Amino acid sequence: MNVLIEEKTDNKNGVTIFVEGEVDVYTAPQLREKLLPLCQNGKTVYVDLSKVDYIDSTGLGVLIGAYKAQRATAGRLVLKGVNARIYRLLRITGLHEVIEIEDRKQEDGKV
Amino acid sequence: MNIDLQKQYEKLLTSYIQDTREDHLYGAQQLSKWILQQRVPPEEVVSIHIATIKNLLPDLPNEVKISFDFLIEVMIGYGVAYQDRDHLVNRQRELEDEIEVAVRMQQTLLPKSPPPLEGVDIGVLSVAANRMSGDYYNFVDHGQGSLGIAISDIIGKGIPAALCMSMIKYSMDRFDDQPLSPSEVLRGLNTVVERNVDSSMFITMVYGVYDSLNHHFRYATAGHEPGLVYKASDGEFHDLETQGLVLGVAKDVDYPEYTIELSLGDAIILFSDGVTECKVDGKFLQREQLKQIICEYLELPAQQAVEAIYQRLFEMTKYSMKDDQTIMIIKRVESLS
């Protein structure tokens, strides 16, 4: 139960956060600490989840918090590399229609 | 009090030194219980011991006598720690009491049992993983055979979730007298939640109205784990259609409504994500597994069925429940009249 979070800021288009591991009730606070401060100046924030296999509802709450913060400052929040399980969660919660999702993983052709 | 303690201690110690009998040691154990009860600090007990020894053996070497001062000095540190511990124990007890009050208050937010509905058997079970739950369910009697049914998962656990739950309950209480449609209920709740909760908190919900006159279940969902509908005609489970954003994320959200018609023996099964996200042998429970388990118990009266299903899941997860679990079964049965 660990999560690695890395930030790459030299991107001209915005900031990318790479997340690796499981985002759950134990690790979600780490993601919140990294992600929310970036969502304050209207820049596009990419969250790369290609190495995340599982997000629980607390983790989803962090993404929602970031989405709301970005919306308030006219910035964009974009999720990348979402796997089938996470996409199912986004679809059930209806978040796939409000949060931008790019480059879903290939394996999820039939979600 | 301390004079008594000193006398008692001296008596016991003197007897023990004289004959080293076990029963004096037992006496010492009893005395130590009393000492703890009276909250006598450890350095005081050591002082009493030293005074007794000095009385009994006046010719002690001077080095030993000096060493006693040293010992008392060391014991003072223990005394301070003992007081701190005492303070923390009291504080802990106070907090426990407060949590206990909150737990009892939260239980009053949940309806005791589903209201009777002609030709319908409803069972529900909600178990918290810890002491406070983030799962919620409610029944709203609209009269004329029509019952509003809600099942909800408040993201986050513990006290914040419980506070949020009371907000949901009191908002729903307003719907008692005005039979709103499921999508209107969810729209109304969404507005309340969106305005009032922390930005990373959200709530999922299914709200449906069961009309026992024609056995139609009209429902809408807000990002809730899709429930199941069991059709007796083909013996199969079908996913309930779901489409709708979780409560609290955006303003002005529309929640599409769906209607299911239940024939005799059909059942609707609703649950919280604690049920679908439980882990069996390190893997998430598959939806197919869940359907099989439900199927085994569906013949039972609804309340017994939800209890048996919960028990089975609890055993399968080796008695380790990570999240709150709520299961509700709404089954169409033979009408009595």
Query: What distance in Å separates residue A101's CA from the closest CA in chain B?
Result: 16
Interface of B with A (CB under 8 A): 153, 155-157, 198-202, 204, 222-226, 242-246, 249-250, 253, 273, 277
Nearest Cβ partner for B156 among A32, A58, A68: A58
Same domain membership, residue B293 and residue B208: yes
Chain B CB contacts of A25 below 8 Å: 157
Nearest 5 degrees, angle CA B100-CA B102-CA B104?
Answer: 70
CATH number for the domain running over A3-108 = 3.30.750.24
SS3 call for A92: helix
User: Which ranges in chain B belong to alpha helices (H)?
Assistant: 2-19, 22-37, 42-56, 62-109, 158-173, 182-196, 273-276, 287-297, 302-316
Mark which of B102, B129, B162 sits at the end of a domain.
B102
Band (pLDDT 50/70/90 cuts) for residue A106 is: low
Q: Report the gap between the CA of B154 and the closest CA in chain A (Å).
A: 9
Residue type, B115: P
Q: Write out chain B residues lying below 8 Å of A95, CB-based.
A: 223, 245-246, 249
**For each successive 10 residues of chain B (337 residues), what is the average pLDDT?**
80 93 93 89 92 92 93 90 89 91 87 91 91 88 91 82 87 78 94 87 94 96 94 94 92 94 96 86 87 94 96 88 90 86
End-to-end CA distance of chain B: 76
CATH code assigned at B136:
3.60.40.10
Cβ contact B273–A61 (<8 Å) = no
Q: What is the pLDDT of residues B44-65, one digit of tens each?
A: 999 999 999 999 999 999 999 9
Q: Are residues B27 and B119 in the same domain?
A: no
Q: What is the pLDDT of residues B11-54, one digit of tens each?
A: 999 999 999 999 999 999 999 999 988 888 889 999 999 999 99
Tokens, residue B191: 């507005």
Of B220, B138, B136, B229, residue with least CA distance to B181? B220
Residues B127, B316 contacting (CB under 8 angstroms): no
Domain total for chain B? Answer: 2
Residues B43 and B188 in one domain: no
Query: What order do you get walking across the sheet with B146-154 strand by strand?
Result: B135-143, B146-154, B203-211, B216-222, B258-261
SS3 for B84?
helix
- Domain-terminating residue out of B48, B70, B102: B102
Chains A, B: CB pairs < 8 Å: 53
Is B200 found in the same domain as B64? no
Residue of A nearest to B161 (CA): A58
Range of the domain at B66: 2-102
Q: Residue A70 contacts by C-beta under 8 Å, 6 or more apart in sequence? A: A39, A45, A76, A77
Which amino acid would we find at residue B122? I
* Chain centroid offset of residue B211 CA: 32
Distance to chain A for B155, nearest Cα, Å = 6
Model confidence pLDDT, tens digit, residues B93-104: 999 998 888 888
B337 part of a folded domain? no
Residues 6+ apart with CB under 8 A from A7: A15, A16, A17, A18, A34, A38
